[in-house]
Amino acid sequence: MQLFLKIMFMMVVGGLIGWMTNVIAIKLLFRPLLPVRVPLTNFHIIGLIPKRRLDIARNIGQTVHNELISMDEIGERLLTDENRAWMTAEIKGKIASVIDDKMSILPSGLKMMAMGMLGDVVDREIAVFIDEKSGELVKKAGENVNIGEMVEEKINQFELEKIEEIILSVAKSELKHIEVLGGVLGAAIGLFQAVVMQLFW
């Protein structure tokens, strides 16, 4: 009975140590947010994420830009047949409105004939224009817009507490599993120590 209690005691102590170690390690990812000087030394303690914030933001931005989203993909999503049809209709409507206004002095029959002729030309040319200019627009946007830099800038604008909140909300269950795993491993180590002590002491 006494042996069993010793083993259980060491397992509980080992489990608590393993669990608390992982809890503290996870807290140290975020805290302290600002450098804290260790008394009597020149050593400062700061959380890993606050310390590496700029590097983390830059790496996330580069990953998004290089691996996840490109301007070509955004252009493909924007320039669908449905959007092209919408742009064509909008341009035709604007042209028709201008023609109707500028030709208001013409007799209605002549105006209708002119509108019909121009309408055929507009239908042909708008499709060509949209195809040509949309490609140029996407290329120009790719040169002037860097999604990675936008992501990096946005992350750097967040307060550190907000970054902590986002990470915890995304990885809360995984971090909890790490804490529990620390307790399980600690208990296993405690059991191993108890067995070794009984065999060799």
pLDDT digits (tens, 9 = 90+) for 98-156: 767 766 666 666 667 766 666 667 777 777 777 777 777 767 766 677 788 888 888 88
Strands 44-45 and 36-37 come out as antiparallel
Please check whether residue 22 is in contact with residue 179, taking contact to mean a CB–CB distance below 8 angstroms. Answer: yes
- Residue 184's pLDDT is what? 92
- Residue 104's pLDDT is what? 67
Residue 169 has pLDDT above 80, yes or no: yes
Q: By percentage, how much of the chain surpasses pLDDT 70? A: 84
- Residue 114's pLDDT is what? 66
Q: Measured between alpha carbons, how far is 164 from 141 in angstroms, rounded to an integer?
A: 33
Q: Measured between alpha carbons, how far is 133 from 137 in angstroms, rounded to an integer?
A: 6
Of 48-62, 65-79, 102-116, give the lowest mean pLDDT range. 102-116
Place of tokens 């986002």: 166
Exposed / middle / buried, residue 193 (Cβ in 10 Å: 0-12, 13-18, 19+): middle
- Residue 34's pLDDT is what? 84
- Nearest CA-CA partner of 150 in 65, 50, 49: 65
Q: Cβ–Cβ contacts within 10 Å for residue 102, how many? A: 10
pTM: 0.58
